[in-house]
Each structure stands twice: as C-alpha cells, then as structure tokens.
Amino acid sequence: MSKWVLSVLLSGTVVFVSLVPVLGKEIVSTLDDQQEVAVTIYNDNLALVRDQRQVDLPKGTVDLALREVSARIRPETALLRSLTSPDGLTILEQNFDFDLLTPHKLLEKYVGKDVQLVRTHPETGEDRYETARVLAANDGVVLKIGDRIETGVPGRLVYPDVPENLRDRPTLVVSLDNEKAGQQTTELSYLTGGLGWRADYVAELNQDDTALDLSGWVTLTNQSGTTYRNALLQLVAGDVNRVREEVRVRRAVMMADSMAEAAPQMREEGLFEYHLYTLQRPTTIRDNQTKQVSLLNAAGVPVHKEFRLQGSPYYYRGRQGDLGQKLKIGVFVEFDNRKDDNLGMPLPKGIVRVYKQDTDGRPQFIGEDRIDHTPENETVRLKLGDAFDVTASRKQTDFRKLGGDSRYNYRFESAYEIKLKNAKDEEVTVTVVEPVPGDWHVLEESHKHSKASADTALWKITIPAKGETTLAYRVEVKY
C-alpha cells in the first residue's frame, strides 16, 4: 500500500486533507490506462461492465490494483483476463476494497493508536505538537493526551500513514501470476448495481383524437460511483431472471416530464428472448448523472379513443339498491404497434405522457399511463383519466333468490338500470363492462350485449349530444 503523510484540520466545518504519496510495490491501474469500456444495462438496476486497460506487468506474482471500478460492483462476478496473453496470466486471488478514505474513516482506523495533535498559537502562529492516543471516534473524537482526556479538540491531527485497507477510490485488487513481463491488454468484466435505465414516451394527440405523434426516450441513471468514458452503450429490454439480493438499493430519480424531439440513435435487435438496443456512437456516462438518448419517433399513429364504465362482480351476489350517482367514466386511447401504423419497433416498458394542443396551439398535459414491454403487432392501451362531461348512475332495480341452500348452488335473478349522460356537443359511445360471476345468462336487455369473456358482458351504448341513454338488463346467475 502507498505511504502517505496526512494532516486533517478538525476545527470548523471544512476539512482540508493534504496527501504526499510515496509509491509502494503494488501495480496501480487508473482510468488513464483504459483503452475501451462497454456497458450493458438491464431494466432492474443491473449492468454488465467490460473494462479494457493497458497495463505493464512484471514477471511473477504481482498485485494489480484496478482503481475506479464501480463502487456497486458485485465482486463475485468479476472476471479478469489477458487479451494479449490469455494463457500466460493466472488469477490467484481478488479483493474488493470499498472502505474509502475520508477524515472520519481515517480517524476510526486510528482508534487505539497514537497521532500528533497540533495546536496553533492564535497570536504568534507557532505550532505546538503533542502525542495523543485516539480513544473513540463515534459521535466525535475522544483523545488521551498525557494524563488527561479531551474531546472536541481544536487544532489538527497529523497521521503517520494511511492504513492499507483504506482507498481513495473503489479498487479491485487482483493477485496475479504472470509468465512474461511487459505490456498487456486486460479486460475486466463484472456485474454492478447503481446503473439503471427506463423508457419514457411523449405523445401528442391531434385535434380530433384520431392520431398521435410519439417520441421515445431512454433515460439512464448512473449512481455506481464511477464514470464510464466514451463507452459502448447497450440496453437490454426484458425480464431477466435474477436471484434477489437481501439488501435493497435506492431507485433512480425521476426526470422531467417533457423532452425535446431528437433523431433516434438506438439500433434494435433480438437477444435470446429479450431485445437489445445499441447506441450508435460512444457516450460518456458520468457518476451521479442522468442522461437521455432518443429511442424512436413516429408521426401520425392512428388511435382509438374509448369511454369505459367498469362494473364489479359484487353487484350480482345480493340485494344492493343504489350503486352510485355520477360515476366516473374512464377515458382510454389505444394504438397498434405495427409498421403499417408508422411504428413496429419493440417498445420497452415505461411511462407514456400524453399532450394535446389547446385552441392557441399550446401543448397541455392530458394524462399518462405505464406500459409493459410491448412487442411488434401488439396493442398499446393507455388510461388518460376520467371524463368530465360523460357520467353514469347505476342501481339495482330487482333481486330474487331462485334456489339453492349453500353458496355452491345458489341461483339469483337481478335487474339493473344504468343511466348514461352526455353534456358534450357531440354524441359519444360508452363501453359498459360488467364482470358477472358464476354461470350466467342475460334474460332481458334494452341494448344487445356481447360476451367478451367467460365472466364479462359488454355493451356499446351511444349517447346523443346533450342527452342521455338508459341501459336496462336482467341477468340470472348460478354459483
């Protein structure tokens, strides 16, 4: 380990550290030795880093200290190999030193040891040195100076050395057996946390809600503790199985809702059962930085707008009466991820934020929804909110028990009335979705239903402008 002479000012709020290094036997590699770095980032706070460095290694056993690796490295996944001489380099041992040098850490390492206490005369400026033993460094420093104990000591502590297990940067130390001295190109591969990405989408609806323009962005967040300079960046979209760690990690911070339009820069390809997106140029991912890269742009994507009233199965299990006034009716838009509709690219999961221009041409935010990974030719469905001018009221108008003596053979007959009102200047169509439990069939209805699934009845009800429409139906249910 390198030797240091170090002085720390304890009084005041600012800590000053002066370091004078004296090189030891360890071979140290920094980012200055880096020839190439590639980063593949997965959805769930996981990344694969491939770090190539040019190092000068002597023959025999040597400790290679690879500085400025990720502070969130998973050491058990680290693999170092020589690209120059694959058979001439043998890994004997590796250690990840993440106990980083700070004034407090240094003080902790010197508990039970002697340091020099330096006091400066306020008038003459003369320094006076005393030997002090560090007794504690938990909530403050406790020193034994001669036959007295002091806390909150004004002045400076001078340390004779930096302990070998303290590093100023996260460092992976690899013990090697090298057959031939000279320059070698090594590649260190490892998995790390602290790097994550997500997709963000911005959509703008046209005036009649029949089409939208869609922009997709990739948002990267680097909290891994190091910088990746001029990196080859790749992103994997898909749910990769992982053995869950017990320690939870902090999620990446969110970015702004809206982003300027830019040309897509990502190339997409299949990878096993996932999708791989590759940035077509090197990029620098700095520590504690959020970066955004354009993923896609699509104009004039046809959309379908839907008003939807959702029911509940409990309506059909007993006597209910009034089931709600001025019920909220959800507003949805959906579009197909097809090449014929100007899309057709596998869409990574993320949030879609939707805007629409007002009469003065200013974009206004009208809602957002989260989508899952969406392959080509699938439908994207977004709930943007609840309608203001379209409402509903619902009541049970009749209920009878037809038979049965247990919950496994009950038969019920019940009737319902749903009144739909439209305050808009144009007619609208509302989809009424009723999840009916058990074995069921509709006995009477004012509007024809369709059986969307084994437990779902669906009605499409048209409501005139400034008017209302009533849906009435009777259903028999057998459990």
Of the ranges 112-126, 210-224, 361-375, which one carries the lowest mean pLDDT score? 112-126
- 64 and 185 share one domain: yes
Question: What's the confidence (pLDDT) of residue 262?
Answer: 53
Query: For residue 22, what pLDDT is reported?
Result: 34
Give the residue from 249, 277, 297 where a domain finishes.
297
How many DSSP H helices and E strands does the chain contain?
Answer: 1, 34
pLDDT for 459 beyond 90? yes
Q: What is the pLDDT of residue 256?
A: 35
Q: Are 334 and 358 members of one domain? A: yes
* Residue 458 amino acid letter: L
Domain contains 330: yes
Residue 225 confidence (pLDDT) above 80: yes
Give CA torsion, residues 270, 271, 273, 277, to 10 deg. -60
Those residues with Cβ within 8 angstroms of residue 460's Cβ, 6 or more apart along the chain or in another chain: 429, 430, 431, 432, 447
Strand segments, DSSP code E, in 16-72 are: 17-19, 27-29, 34-42, 46-57, 60-67
pLDDT of residue 180 exceeding 50: yes
What CATH number is associated with residue 96?
2.60.40
Q: Exposure string (b/e) for 421-431, b if CB count within 10 Å is 16 or more?
A: bbeeeeebebb
pLDDT at 472: 98
Is 116 found in the same domain as 49? no
160 Cα distance to chain centroid? 44
Over residues 387-405, the mean pLDDT reads 93
User: What is the pairing mode between strands 60-67 and 304-310?
Assistant: unpaired
Name the H helices within 380-459. Answer: none
Indicate whether 254 belongs to any domain: yes
Q: Write down the pTM of the prediction.
A: 0.72
Mean pLDDT score, 390-408: 89
Any domain includes 1: no
Same domain (yes/no): 227, 259: yes
Is 34 in the same domain as 182? yes
Are residues 199 and 188 both part of a single domain? no
Task: Assess whether 147 and 234 both reside in one domain.
Answer: no
Residue 339 backbone dihedrals phi, psi, to 5 degrees = -65, -35
Is the same domain home to 317 and 261? no
**315 backbone dihedrals φ, ψ, rounded to 5°:** -55, -30
Least Cα distance to 349 among 371, 368, 334, 333 occurs for: 371
Domain that holds residue 110: 103-159
Same domain as 333, residue 468: yes
Cα 168 versus chain centre, distance: 28
Main-chain dihedrals φ then ψ at residue 389, nearest 5 degrees:
-95, -5
**Lowest-confidence pick of 3-17, 46-60, 341-355, 435-449:** 3-17
Domain boundary among 297, 317, 332: 297
Instruction: Provide the pLDDT for residue 245.
Output: 54
Co-location of 328 and 366 in the same domain = yes
On whether both 66 and 132 belong to a single domain, the answer is no
On whether residue 180 sits in a domain, the answer given is yes
- Whether 342 and 427 map to the same domain: the answer is yes
Residue 327: pLDDT over 70: yes
What domain count does the chain have?
Answer: 4
Confidence category of residue 259, pLDDT binned at 50, 70, 90? very low
